[in-house]
Amino acid sequence: MSLSADPRYRSVHLTWRNYDAAGGETVRWWAKPSGGAWGIVMMMPVASDEQAADWDTALPLTAYDIALQFVNGTVATVGYEGEPDDWTASTAALSKSTVTTTCASVTGLAGTFVDAATPLALSWTCAQTGITFLLEKNLGAGWVTVESGITAQSYQYTIPSAELNTTVDFRVTSQVGAVSGTVSDTLSVYVGVLVGAPTITAATFNPVEGSLSLSWSAADDATAYTIEHSINGAAYVTYATVTGLSFALGVGSVGPGRRFEPGYTVRWRVTGTNGAYVGTSAVSDLVTLTVVTPAVTMVSLTIPASHSGTFCTTTTPTGDWYMTGVELSQNGGGWFSGGGALAPATDIPINTAHVPPAGQTLSARARAYACGGNVIGALSNEITETSP
C-alpha cells in the first residue's frame, strides 16, 4: 500500500494490492487524524489485484493514520475485526500507513501603491478551499503579523503614516488553525512615489551682480522642484521651492546673507518632489561656478608735506563692481580700513588722521566689492611711502 498527499489540494491518493481475493469482498478505507478517532471515509468493491482511490475531503495540513479493511458483506476477514487498533499485528503491518496532507500553494501575491490615502489592495491565488491565510509584513526588522484568519484571497492594507517613503515586504501563508502551510513568494512594495530626477537645461549665475537663472526638464511624477545651493563645499541649503520648470533672481538678489570670496565654488542643484508624504527624487546634475574676482591695481600713493590732500591712485576694476575699498597699514602695523570710493575711481582720498608722523611709513592696498559688499574682490598689490 502506498499513500501520497496532493500538493495542490487536500486529497490523499492511495494505491494497494488485493491478495487472495475470493470475490465479493469490499474494501473499507479507515482514517484517524492526529489526536482524533478512527472513522470510515470510503468503501469500494474489490475489482482487481491492483486498485487505487482518492480521498478528497481530508483536512489540509493534518497527519493521518490510514488503514484498509477487507469485509464480505458485514463480516470482516479474520484479523480485521473491529477498528484498526484492534487488528492483529500481522494484519496491521500490511494494511496500515500514515500520511500528512498539504495545502495548495499560495501564488501570485500582488499589490500596487496608489497614494497615501488609498489602501494597498493585496491579492493572491490559492486553489485550496476551507482554509485561512496569514498576512505578514517586514520593514527590515523581521516579519510581523498584519492579520491572521483571512478567509478571502485579498486584503485592503491601510498604509500607516510611519511607513510612507519606505519599502514594505509582504508574504501570505496558508493556515488551518494553528498549523501553517505553504508560504507565498515575497512582494516588495515601495510605499511612495519614486520621483524622477530633473535635468538642468540652462543656468546663469553671476555672484557679482547677484543674479541667478535656472531652467530644467520635467521629472517623472514631480509636482514641485526645490532649488538648493552649496557655497565652498558647505552643506546644501534650500533656496526656494517652485512648481514650474524655471527659477530666476534679479540683480542684487543672491548676495545678501551669502558671502562670496575669490576662489569660492558655488554649486546649484534642483530636486523633484511630490507632496509632503513621499520622498524626493535624486538630484539633478550640478551647476558649478567658481567665483572669479578681478583685482584692483595700486598705481601710486601720494603724501604731501602738509599731510593734507593725501590720496592713492588705483585702476578701475572691470565688471559690475560698485566700490573700491582701501586698506592701510601705519609703520608696518596691522591693516585697517582707510575708506574708499563708492564708484571705482582713480583718485581715492585718504583721511589725514591716518597719515603717520614724519619719517614713518604708510602702506596702502585695495580691493573691489560688489552685491552689497557680499562679493569681495582679490587684494591688490601694496604701495608703501614714507611720511614727509
Mean pLDDT of 260-272: 82
pLDDT at 120: 95
Q: What residue type is assigned to position 146 of the chain?
A: V
Nearest Cα residue to 99 out of 61, 127, 44: 61
Q: Give percent above pLDDT 70 in the chain.
A: 89
> How confident is the model over 12-34, as a mean pLDDT?
82
Cell of 13: 491518493
- Is pLDDT larger for residue 143 or for residue 292? 143
Could you tell me the pLDDT band of residue 172, with boundaries at 50, 70 and 90? very high
Query: Residue 255: which of 208, 297, 294 has the closest Cα?
Result: 208
pLDDT at 101: 78
Fold of the domain built from segment(s) 2-100 = Immunoglobulin-like (2.60.40)
Instruction: Determine the CATH number of domain 107-190.
Output: 2.60.40.10
Q: Which of 114-128, 157-171, 337-351 has the lowest mean pLDDT?
A: 337-351
- The CA distance from 171 to 295, in Å, is 68
Residue 384 pLDDT > 90: yes
* Cα–Cα separations (whole angstroms), residue 81 to 55, 71, 74, 91: 23, 9, 10, 10
Tell whether pTM > 0.85. Answer: no
Of 3-7, 247-251, 327-331, 333-337, the range with the lowest mean pLDDT is 3-7
The pLDDT of residue 277 is above 50: no
State yes or no: pLDDT of 366 exceeds 60: yes
CATH class, 298-386 region: mainly beta
Residue 282, pLDDT > 60, answer no
- Residue 66's contacts (CB-CB under 8 Å, 6 or more residues apart) are 3, 12, 14, 29, 30, 31, 96, 97, 98, 99
Q: What proportion of the chain, given as a percentage, has pLDDT over 90? A: 26
CA atoms within 13 A on the CB side of 364: 32
pLDDT (mean) for 189-207:
83
Report whether pLDDT(132) > 60: yes
Residues of the chain with CATH 2.60.40.10: 2-100, 107-190, 200-290, 298-386
User: Are 158 and 113 spatial neighbours (Cβ–Cβ below 8 Å)?
Assistant: no
Angstrom distance (rounded) from CA 70 to CA 22: 11
Residues in CB range of 355: below 8 A, 6 or more apart:
303, 307, 310, 362, 387
Q: Any residues with CB less than 8 A from the CB of 353 and at least 6 apart, and which?
A: none
**Residue 14, beta-bridge partner list:** 3, 53
Mean pLDDT of the chain: 83
Among residues 161, 114, 166, 109, the alpha carbon closest in space to that of 133 is found at 109
Q: Which pLDDT does position 279 carry in this prediction?
A: 47
List the Cα angle 81/84/87 in 5-degree steps: 50
- Higher-confidence residue of 236 and 144: namely 144
Q: Domain 200-290: which CATH class?
A: mainly beta
